[in-house]
Amino acid sequence: MLKAERARFVADELERRYPETPIPLDHRDPYTLLVAVLLSAQCTDLRVNQVTPELFALADTPEAMAEVPVEKIQEVIRPCGLSPQKSKAIAGLSKILVEQHGGEVPQSFEELEALPGVGHKTASVVMSQAFGFPAFPVDTHIHRLAQRWGLSSGKNVVQTERDLKRLFPEDSWNRLHLQIIFYGREHCTARGCDGTVCGICRALYPERKKPKKTRRA
């Protein structure tokens, strides 16, 4: 199967399996989504969703969060890990949003990535899920599955994002990145797979008879 054919099969199969694409991180608006995505670095969405109710009860706007002592933020978010860095970032970006963006989350990659603790993946999630702007945030699941499905060499997430954006139509990116994450969590996990256990690889590689060791990504 050619790469473009594999991409088409994957898109159709994931659309069949995941017609609904709810946003995994609980939030009420672009600001609470931004904070939740920042907290999800090296942490599960499940854990973030357990922590944010208490955090947002404390403060759920940039103005209110900018008034909360960093130590208090750190105390509340500790279960998400990396709490010293994350609490400083949340406090810092909240102050910048108030001082430089009128308390609003900016709708541009550049301005988002200029905020403390906000990298390209976080900015892409916010642009895609809060503002509906086409983006293809590449997390560990997407990086791993793109490699296993032969859609990208998987050398690094930048390369993976570039390859996937070239392979899939722009208007599919916002749904597809969530559908790939759902499949990665449910079926194609980080634990190695021999590439023969489920229908996707069997369809993508019909000639594959022997188990194939897929690199852990």
Question: What tokens were used for 18?
Answer: 């995941």
Question: What tokens were used for 206?
Answer: 């019909």
> Least Å distance between CB 159 and ligand SF4?
19
Of 174 and 214, which CB lies nearer to ligand SF4 in the complex structure?
Answer: 214
Q: Has 171 been annotated as catalytic?
A: no
> Least Å distance between CB 177 and ligand SF4?
16
- Closest C-alpha among 23, 24, 41, 27 to residue 77: 41
> Is residue 188 a contact residue for ligand SF4 (CB under 6 A)?
yes
CA 45 vs CA 41, 74, 127, 189: distances in Å:
9, 18, 18, 15
Residue of 72, 88, 139, 165 with catalytic role: 139
Question: What tokens were used for 63?
Answer: 């103005």
Binding characters for ligand SF4, 6-45, by CB under 6 A (x = yes): ----------------------------------------
**Residue labelled with tokens 């208490």:** 54
Interacting residue with ligand SF4 among 153, 198, 203, 216 (CB under 6 A): 198
Of 154 and 195, which CB lies nearer to ligand SF4 in the complex structure?
Answer: 195
Residue of 88, 121, 165, 209 with catalytic role: 121
* Type of residue numbered 110: E
> Is residue 152 a contact residue for ligand SF4 (CB under 6 A)?
no
Q: Is residue 10 within 8 Å of residue 149, measured between CB atoms? A: yes
Q: How many CB atoms lie within 10 A of CB 170?
A: 10
Q: Is residue 25 within 8 Å of residue 48, measured between CB atoms? A: yes
> Is residue 187 a contact residue for ligand SF4 (CB under 6 A)?
yes
* Type of residue numbered 51: V
> Least Å distance between CB 140 and ligand SF4?
14
Of 10 and 91, which CB lies nearer to ligand SF4 in the complex structure?
Answer: 10
